[in-house]
Amino acid sequence: MRWTLPNILTVLRLIAAPGVAIMFLYFHRPWADWFALTLFVVAAITDWFDGYIARRWQQESKFGTMLDPIADKAMVVIALVIITGYSGMNPWLILPVTVILFREVFVSGLREFLGAKASLLKVTKLAKWKTTAQMVAIAVLFLGTGLEYREGIARQGMSVDEYSALVTQGLADPIRSCGARGCSSLATMVGLALIWVAAVLTLVTGWEYFRKSLPYLKDDKA
């Protein structure tokens, strides 16, 4: 393996995947949320740069081709598990997350079964859009979990409406509640919408890969 810049970025992104979870072990919230969000966004940006640099500088390699999707999947899977746990197992989040996780496991199994023929399941443009949608949704959801924790401390058990009343009276910081609506609820709603979009793209790409592999899943006739 050559230690080219694209390969280094890919390895760093793979290391960043468990690093997102580690933030919640060594830092108190909401700092853990902010650090996890920052690490995730920086790692997601490298996903675009390593591919661009590899093509521009003609540094594409088998190692990078193999490791790049693994790093992406590790980032997405670990981040979704963390977000689902800290979101109180929100059913509107659990369903699209289940779809995404199932598809990733299913396609990985297909690639392993096909072996040398796994090149049939090479990453498509739609699959790249799927990954982008997943990462944007995860970043917004991380923002929502951090804001929710921060607002919960600020409200000290009060509802959003009760806290907004104090804001109106000048007894609370309006920045923490985004006025009449909690910032966390706004970020969470946007994140949920995006994760559903990502789940639909995930299903479509998963079906495409399954359809391409069907001829190789049939038993040979005696």
Give the residue extent of every domain in the chain: 5-215
In this structure, whether the domain defined by 5-215 belongs to CATH 1.20.120 is answered with yes
What are the pLDDT tens digits along the chain (222 aa)?
Answer: 678 887 888 888 899 999 999 999 999 888 899 999 999 999 988 888 777 787 777 777 777 777 788 888 899 999 999 999 988 888 899 999 999 999 888 888 887 777 766 666 666 778 888 888 999 999 999 998 888 887 777 767 777 677 777 777 877 666 555 544 567 778 889 999 999 999 999 999 888 888 877 777 776 655
Give the pair of three-digit tokens for residue 30: 């909401």
Query: CA 145 to CA 34: how far, in whole Å?
Result: 9
Candidates 73, 65, 64, 85; CA nearest to 44 is 73
The interaxial angle of helices 62-86 and 125-155, nearest 10 deg, is: 30
